[in-house]
Chains A and B, each alone.
Chain A
Amino acid sequence: MKVSIDAEICQGQGRCFSIAPTIFSFDDLGNGVVIGDGTLTKQNLDSARLAQSNCPEHAIFIEEE
């Protein structure tokens, strides 16, 4: 399972890195970025989903295998 942020859609609303700071961070402009390669474990899938469901721009995508 992998999480990603579509940089074209992200507007830096800042919800993801507040809700799931171990999965998401931010760049110099305040836009959301995924930490590392975005691989999710069973342990952090729920928090990635919670961040996804709070993104006002619908910029977070989770690829489930």
Chain B
Amino acid sequence: MTDREPVLDFSTDWDHTDPQWVNDPYPIWDDLRERCPVAHTDRYGGGWFPTTHDDVSRIANDTEHFTSHQVVVTKNKFPPGAPPAPMGGAPPITSDPPFHAMARRLLLPAFAPGPVNALEPQIRALCQKHLDGLRGRAEIDAGHEYAQYIPPGVIAQMLGFPPEDEDQFRDFVHVVLDLIDLEPEVRGPLFDPINTYFTEQIEDHLKSPRDDLTTYLLNVEVNGQKLAPEHVRGSMVLILVAGIDTTWSAIGSSIWHLATHREDLERLVREPELMPVAVEEFLRFYAPVTMARLVKEDYEFQGCPMKKDDWVLLGFPAANRDPQAFAKADEFIIDREVNRHAAFGLGIHRCVGSNLARLELRVAIEEFIKRYPRFELDPSKDVTWAPGQVRGPRALPLRVTF
């Protein structure tokens, strides 16, 4: 992280990498929702942060005034050589209509409930394998030693990448999603190893095609044409990056919650059939992901004079805590029945991997509490939280009882 000016007022100078926001953003968002409710910043070249469910939903559904061309807020709004709109660098998340629908349709079947649910036994075995590795220890780091291992294994297999490359994937994610306030000339070269890795994987799959998403993207035809190479590569990068620390963060936050709320842990251990409902509340209360848009042309929204190319950071996690949208929004209610949360986004960019993320989250928690019916934070060590647009614990030191 670079040195930055501390934020004094988030309503006029918000920064999602500020330590106060990183450690506990919820009081900040509640305050902004009450008095703004759309916050502004001059940082990152200028941007807005809506905090109500209604505003977040309206912007997410408004592809006329807002573009998805860049979805991660950085100081490098238009990196040289980046694929232009309407495709963007990582289709379909960076794409706008009408291109978006085609790019998304190509990915949806692989992430539909049928193929995804078939992965359950394998995900369960992966969770058990990592828990077996911790056997006998009373102190563990549930972030670095458990949560972070679950999603990469699954996504590597779907893309047909060697599972032993997992550590590299986490480095890639760190560059793309965490190191966001670096100056462009420092950040740019960090992408070189990522590009090299994908080039190698593409060449390998061209030489020896197999039954995986990489081969599928290389061969699929739309209107008799194969996809442009930058489309194939962009979708691969998206699947890898978006499929890893998002779900890892959700798993980590859920374990953090159970470590700090014994009554909820005891209830889940006692009533495992509650899991599907509990998973939705974990997703609402600890939604890990915020996504950005850019303003297409000068546009006034809720009295805010948005300028062309301003960032808009869509606070889906803030929307999930809006008392106008949820009863007792600031309370975690493990058996909440009505839960129209926006953890996977709203509108045409709904997370393509949501079925997989839910499955991984449910199975990872089920296996964890089966192994450890009691656990709590280790008071001698610190929990650390990821900065930026994907929030979740990284170090999660626990004392466990088995």
Q: Which positions in A face B, CB cutoff 8 Å?
A: 11-15, 17-18, 26-30, 50, 53-57
Contacts and interface: CB of A to CB of B under 8 A. Distances in A.
A57 B338 CA distance: 14
Nearest to A18: B276
Most buried by B among A12, A17, A27, A53: A12
Interface string B343-363: 010111010001100100000
In the A-B complex, the 3 residue pairs with the closest CB atoms: A30-B112, A11-B350, A29-B108
B340 A55 contact: yes
Nearest to B116: A30
A18 B346 CA distance: 18
Interface residues of B, number: 23
A57 B349 CA distance: 12
Nearest to B112: A30
Given A14-B113, A14-B358, A56 B340 contact: yes
27 contacts: A11-B347, A11-B348, A11-B350, A13-B344, A13-B354, A14-B355, A14-B358, A17-B113, A18-B276, A26-B114, A27-B112, A28-B108, A28-B109, A28-B114, A29-B105, A30-B109, A30-B111, A50-B338, A53-B338, A54-B280, A54-B338, A54-B339, A56-B342, A56-B344, A56-B346, A57-B346, A57-B347
A26 B340 contact: no
A53 B355 CA distance: 19
Nearest to A53: B338
A30 B107 CA distance: 11
Interface in B283-330: none
Contacts of B354: 12-14
Contacts of B114: 26, 28
Given A29-B105, A57-B350, 4 more contacts: A14-B113, A14-B354, A53-B338, A56-B341
B350 A12 contact: yes
Interface in B55-75: none
A23 B114 CA distance: 17
Given A11-B348, A11-B350, A17-B113, A30 B342 contact: no
